[in-house]
Amino acid sequence: MRRKLLVGNWKMNKTRAEALAFGEASVALSSFAEEKKVDIGVTPTFLSLDVVKKANPKLIVGAQNVHFKSNGAFTGEISIPMLQELGIEWSLVGHSERRTYFGETNESCNQKVIALLNNKMVPIYCVGETLAEFEAGQTKAIVGAQVKEGLASINKEDARKVVVAYEPVWSIGTGKNASKEIAEDICGFIRATLKEMFGEVADEMRILYGGSVKPENIKEYMAEPNIDGALVGGASLTVESFKQLIENID
Ligand code: PGA
């Protein structure tokens, strides 16, 4: 049985003081989520990882990005040992904003996923097509390639830990969430692709839907057989909204 997972992606939001306030308030959310048997987490900016983790050690706290090298001349980057020093064990990889604005590719994502797994960390690998690709009927070709190339050369044992987030680019931050039928169709396709790559391990891997998920629409996704949770941007920023997401997850 795959346990539901709800992750709030804070993007470039919240100062350390604001992140701390959420972290402290989230202690009650963690108990509530535990009762509902849901795993919850957030991905603050690098600067707030430690305050949130310290305020609520039970919350999954992940980075939004990481470099695949452990150190070196990479100005502006953060490495895995730096995250681990703060007790951080998770990281997003290949969010569409990283792909669009910072030139990330399936290949660079693959290097990051492999580095995270080699260091016993958990990657949340993000995939999804643009509006033009969606309208041209290319979703499965694009998403299939993102999954195959981004998760290439991973052994089955490590694959078990990987979380895949399907986030159609046209639905992120637009209020135009994908229908539950589209989301399930693509998440099912992702699981079939993972099965080709990793066999039965694919049945244990969690696949999230993301893109304009809100307290009002999260329930419909969670009823779908191949959707194991959500990656939520805007609606994850306040404690009240995050609580409502947990309330409505099943
Ligand atoms: P959104 O963002 O929920 O604000 O659409 C989702 C994401 O980017 O992960």
Q: Which of 67, 89, 95, 129 is catalytic?
A: 95
Q: Is the pTM of this model over 0.75?
A: yes
pLDDT tens figures, 187-243: 999 999 999 999 999 999 999 999 999 999 999 999 999 999 999 999 999 999 999
Q: Are 6 and 249 in contact (CB under 8 A)?
A: yes
By the 8 A CB rule, do 208 and 7 touch?
A: yes
Question: Whole-angstrom Cα distance, residue 96 to residue 209?
Answer: 13
pLDDT at 250 over 90: no
pLDDT reported for residue 1:
82
| Distance from residue 127's CA to the centre of ligand 1 (Å) | 13
Mean pLDDT value of segment 10-21: 98
Q: What are the tens digits of pLDDT across the range 86-127? A: 999 999 999 999 999 999 999 999 999 999 999 999 999 999
* Residue 67 designated active-site: no
> Does the annotation mark 24 as catalytic?
no
Distance in angstroms (rounded) separating the CA atoms of residues 120 and 116: 6
pLDDT in tens, 51-86: 999 999 999 999 999 999 999 999 999 999 999 999
Q: Are strands 38-43 and 60-63 parallel, antiparallel or unpaired?
A: parallel
Whether residue 218 contacts residue 175, with contact meaning beta carbons closer than 8 Å, is answered with: no
